[in-house]
A and B are shown apart, each in its own frame.
Chain A
Amino acid sequence: AKCLCCIGNLSAHQSGLLQKLLQKESAYDYDLIVIGGGSGGLACAQEAAILGKKVMVLDFVVPSPQGTSWGLGGTCVNVGCVPKKLMHQAALLGQALSDSRKFGWEYNQQAKHNWETMTEAIQNHIGSLNWSYRVSLREKAVAYVNSYGEFVEHHKIKATNRKGQETCYTAAKFVIATGERPRYLGIQGDKEYCITSDDLFSLPYCPGKTLVVGASYVALECAGFLAGIGLDVTVMVRSVLLRGFDQEMAEKVGSYMEQHGIKFLRKFIPVMVQQLEKGLPGKLKVVAKSTEGPETMEGVYNTVLLAIGRDSCTRKIGLEKIGVKINEKTGKIPVNDVEQTNVPYVYAVGDVLEGKLELTPVAIQAGKLLARRLFGDHLEKCDYINVPTTVFTPLEYGCCGLSEEKAIEVYKKENLEVYHTFFWPLEWTVAGRDNNTCYAKIICNKFNNNRVIGFHILGPNAGEVTQGFAVAMKCGLTKQLLDDTIGIHPTCGEVQKREVF
């Protein structure tokens, strides 16, 4: 691809070039360049290619402070949803092993877990996904470049590969889908000694006794599966658990974790991380300060995992060169309801978007629909209302719609009816597991036919249960319709039939 900057003297050709520019697409190397080969980027790129457009995807992973890097596919595939769910499954299998004895399986030893076996298997699976994405892009004739992309001027980006070689590309339209990376604390020792979710899933040695800093779903999910495979885990929380989620449910999630051996240090923040011993893992000393007073504490851990949030990768991709506005504080990109930035030919999808949910399926949906609107004459916009999600903590939490707090804020308490119930999954009976822990609640708007505006369930397979409820809510589910629907017996999902005020 030839850059305009590589063509000698511009002025002599100006009128001819202007002609070409006015012919729009044909003047550019590509119809669409997508920066970022993650869930949103790939979905958008492939859909555009299916619609016959000439598309390029740039994907590049800047190694983490610990040196971790990965292949094509973005956060979800490499350091998010996929390895997370697999490690969660490993932890659930540990629980299944102990349940199995109650069901007659003669397996009497205390189960031991081997970290390396698990991570190798998981990394192999991820490798196969990286490969399948590359094949898929090739099959759809999408150009893929493993280079770091940044804007240099309007309609033009510079792509720098691992060796430092630069190439320029131009396109009629751009989609920014660069996602996010874990945030660090900004304290002494954080980047040198701490790891994040970027490193955890491919860690070549068992993390051992771990301190997880943070109360995000990332923090709780990681703490959950690490404890589930037998490690000594502590979670250090600055204030609330799962900020933004329904707080009654969040506390129940935390409470279950605590009852099952995970230690919580509430209202503390780390101020220093020091290395006591080198090793794989080594030994780290953490000094923490209370958020409420002068109290400090110290602890020694093999691993410190920071999970305090994620920052958008928008500050070093040349957006200022073309005038794309970002939220200076958060780094996120504000877009309109068609995912367009303030610069008309530049769009964005995925975790970089301001005010949108940071979820893979949302990014995929947005990316696909965007491509269809840009190149396929479709009009459909991404529907961000009532997007369901699930937190894969040891006791899973699925939800769709509003939290109780948000519902009260929007509709006022007197206009709401909350139906709730505890339940005991049948499979837990014989296994001798807690009978007053699993919980479900639905929040209804009394003045709109008792319409279900919030659904929350804490129990096994919460994701599987919640998905269909999300469809029902999309179709305007009311309490009456819920009551009229027959339950499937025996399941956890049918628990909605037993909900009482």
Chain B
Amino acid sequence: MLQCATDPAAQLGKKVAVVDYVEPSPRGTRWGLGGTCVNVGCIPKKLMHQAALLGDRIRDAPHYGWEVPQQVPHDWRKMAEAVQNHVKSLNWGHRVQLQDRKVKYFNIKASFVNEHVVCGVTKGGKETLLSAEHIVIATGGRPRYPTNIEGALEHGITSDDIFWLKESPGKTLVVGASYVALECAGFLTGLSLDTTVMMRSIPLRGFDQQMSSLVTEHMASHGTQFLRGCTPSRVKKLPDGQLQVTWKDLASGREDMGTFDTVLWAIGRVPETRSLNLEKAGVNTNPNTHKILVDAQEATSVPHIYAIGDAAEGRPELTPTATMAGRLLAQRLCGQSSDLMDYDNVPTTVFTPLEYGCVGLSEEEAVARHGEEHVEVYHAFYKPLEFTVAERDSSQCYIKMVCLREPPQLVLGLHFLGPNAGEVTQGFALGIKCGASYTQVMRTVGIHPTCAEEVAKLRITKRSGLEPTVTGC
């Protein structure tokens, strides 16, 4: 957790060490300093998403007068090399930053010896012992492999591998319904690859379900195939190298088969805590999730041992929350402040082909918490101006704002589905942090022409039953 180490702690004269090690994936993929986000998460994901979006723009361009060939092929290798080079530059940047801040960096696999000592093993097998007054566990998580599917481990890959593939994954089956599954399936489709998503039940569990349906609806109408209510039972490698997948339709019980070049498991992540020897330090974990139990100060069951990021129980698995938690923790440890992390109203964005940005409560959560009579939902279908000339389908471009019904109608949650959803949502997240009400949002003048202004123009409630489609300028 570099923020924790570099920002305040080392700058405040503390002697700090960072221990980072990447156990190669079953396929053998490994990477440098920086963690999931930089190497096998947010960064390469957004870059490949951008590559896919550029494919859309190439299709839009002729409508706007550009003379472009009908079919433009995509070269995976060229993209992968560019993305991987950028990630490597970030690895390098992190190493330089640690050096500049005089933080010692050990590329070793560490585990606890006792509550103040860790033992690290290098790639070559050499052992080092490190002792510290405070220890922060920020080991994150790794993709889960299915345990009861024959051939899953040998023949499937995960997000740990996809961003580092030198060759195109070809015809791909993505198993899972997480944002990882949908984002990957989304950009693979956008790069002209034949892509299928296999889901056991609902997409984006935990997210607003109406929005999640619109996300998958958009993907389905833009070339991604979906196999809903199915689970794989076997993966077999064929003589020509392709993979034969057998699956079961849960409703009918029927078995089916298909052939793919790649099978990508995106069925969740497991925290990297089992090889830490936590019991030697007395650090408790949740027996079901294996995540480390922490309090509001990020302290574990052992007062001087802390945990932040994806390995900690009950925290959003997001880079910016981990970053901020790390920074605040360091400041507290150095006596600089007593500010605690606020995990409420954390905004996020799912970078599917049509992006979904959200902050606050889903409609279901709001209704569960406050009761339907006390919740007002304002919503609208809108058409981004840029889609008009491009003749793009905007059927799923949709916004809803979930508010308390009582005046001034405090905003409980905002959900935006459309282009640049992350950019749109960020500012509104600030507004919600400031306690924005529907009245205040409505009093804010829009910026024209943008998609974001449609949020400030929401008028139709779900309760009214009126048609929520925005027309005209």
Contacts and interface: CB of A to CB of B under 8 A. Distances in A.
Interface of A: 39, 73, 76-77, 81-82, 85-86, 89-90, 93-94, 96-97, 99-100, 102-107, 111-118, 121-122, 125, 129, 132-133, 136, 229, 359-362, 365, 383, 386-390, 398, 426-427, 429-430, 461, 463-472, 474-477, 481-482, 484-494, 496-497
Contacts of B427: 465-472, 493
Nearest to B85: A430
B318 A463 contact: no
Contact of B440 (A113, A471, A497): A471
A375 to B, nearest CB: 18
Interface of B: 37, 42-43, 46-47, 50-51, 54-55, 57-58, 60-69, 72-80, 82-83, 86, 191, 318-321, 324, 342, 345-349, 357, 385-386, 388-389, 420, 422-431, 433-436, 440-441, 443-453, 455-456, 471-473
Given A82-B385, A488-B422, A106 B72 contact: yes
Contacts of B66: 90, 93-94, 97, 111-114
B79 A103 contact: yes
Given A361-B453, A430-B86, A464-B452, A388 B445 contact: yes
A150 B184 CA distance: 61
Nearest to B62: A117
Instruction: Count chain A CB atoms within 10 A of each CB in B82, B427, B450 and give the residue with the most.
Output: B427
29 contacts: A81-B449, A85-B385, A86-B64, A100-B54, A103-B50, A104-B191, A105-B51, A105-B74, A121-B389, A361-B447, A365-B445, A427-B50, A430-B50, A463-B449, A464-B423, A467-B447, A468-B427, A471-B427, A472-B433, A475-B431, A475-B440, A477-B434, A484-B342, A484-B433, A486-B346, A488-B320, A488-B425, A489-B320, A493-B426
A494 B445 contact: no
A167 to B, nearest CB: 28
A117 B440 contact: no
Nearest to A362: B445
B440 A492 contact: no
Contacts of B431: 468, 471-472, 474-475, 477
Given A117-B65, A468-B431, A383 B54 contact: no
Among A85, A111, A386, A485, the most chain B Cβ lie within 10 Å of the Cβ of: A485
A200 B215 CA distance: 39
A490 B42 contact: yes
Contact of B447 (A133, A427, A470): A470
Contact of A118 (B64, B342, B448, B453): B64
Given A102-B82, A469-B430, 5 more contacts: A100-B72, A113-B66, A471-B440, A475-B431, A485-B430
B445 A470 contact: yes
Contacts of B68: 97, 107, 111
Contacts of A99: 54
Contacts of A388: 444-445, 447
B450 A89 contact: no
A442 to B, nearest CB: 11
A494 B428 CA distance: 12
Nearest to B429: A485
Contacts of A132: 471-472
B65 A113 contact: yes
B320 A471 contact: no
B197 to A, nearest CB: 23
Contacts of A113: 65-67
Nearest to B63: A121
Which residue, of A89, A112, A114, has the highest number of chain B Cβ atoms within 10 A? A89
A465 B453 contact: no
A136 B473 CA distance: 12
